[in-house]
Amino acid sequence: MILVIFDVDGTLAYSERRDSLSFARAYENIYGRQFPTIDWRAYPHVTDTTIFDTVIREHFGRAVTDEEVECFQAHYMDLLREGRRAAPDAFREVAGARRLVEQLLAGGRHLVGVATGGWRRPAELKLGHVGINIGPELFSGADGKVNREAILEEVIARAQQLNGSAPTKAVYIGDAEWDVRTTRNMQLSFIGVRYQGDCEVLLKEGARHVIRDFQDTAHFERLLEMAEPPGGQ
């Protein structure tokens, strides 16, 4: 049985950076300081945990507290909901994503999970808006995790427990350069997604297969069989 693990932002759903701007706005509303950048490549690891902690350390010279994380997440989620109420059509699924996930879940030949660099509750909210429902058993976010490797490792370990044995193969589906690097570090099979069509971004990083969307489900399932870890560095 193949374990198919999806990223969320830019992979299953997208908002043209509106969600990233909500993250920055939440910070500025709470702390009254300008958020440094929503270019996530500027941070040591692309996870909400590391991004938030890095900015707090830069501005206040200390680590974040659990209470701060809870407060920040609550305000961030309020802004996500507000944005979706104001402009629901601005927050979309990557074409074919919902139908593909439903097909994989119903087919009995795949385990389906989520490993997102975002915190779990905001990620669930984003997927819920576009009608994608992946159960909690194989859903892992950045809560308490510094790097993306730890998030993926948690999903893989849970899948082994759920299935009673290791999956025959695990494939991560992601949209960003850091997804390529993470899977290369782990020697984990990878399929890239670039809904804007700029597939060369991931190919240059070493991805072997990159698609624009999920509309051709038969092609996607063939890629799952073919998928390999990224090459390159």
Question: Model confidence over 48-70: pLDDT tens digits?
Answer: 999 999 999 999 999 999 999 99
- Identify the CATH homologous superfamily for domain 2-15+92-226: HAD superfamily/HAD-like (3.40.50.1000)
Q: Report the share of the chain in percent with pLDDT over 90.
A: 95
pLDDT of residue 79: 98
The confidence band for 232, taking pLDDT boundaries of 50, 70 and 90, is: confident
Provide CATH 1.10.150 ranges for the chain. 18-89
pLDDT of residue 164: 87
Supply the pTM of this predicted model.
0.97
Q: What's the CATH fold of domain 18-89? A: DNA polymerase; domain 1 (1.10.150)
Provide CATH 3.40.50.1000 ranges for the chain. 2-15+92-226
Q: Which whole-number Å values give the CA distances from 160 to 92, 131, 153, 174, in the listed order? A: 32, 27, 11, 21
pLDDT score of 37 more than 90: yes
pLDDT of residue 233: 66
Higher pLDDT, 162 or 86: 86
Maximum Cα–Cα distance across the chain: 51
pLDDT of residue 210: 98
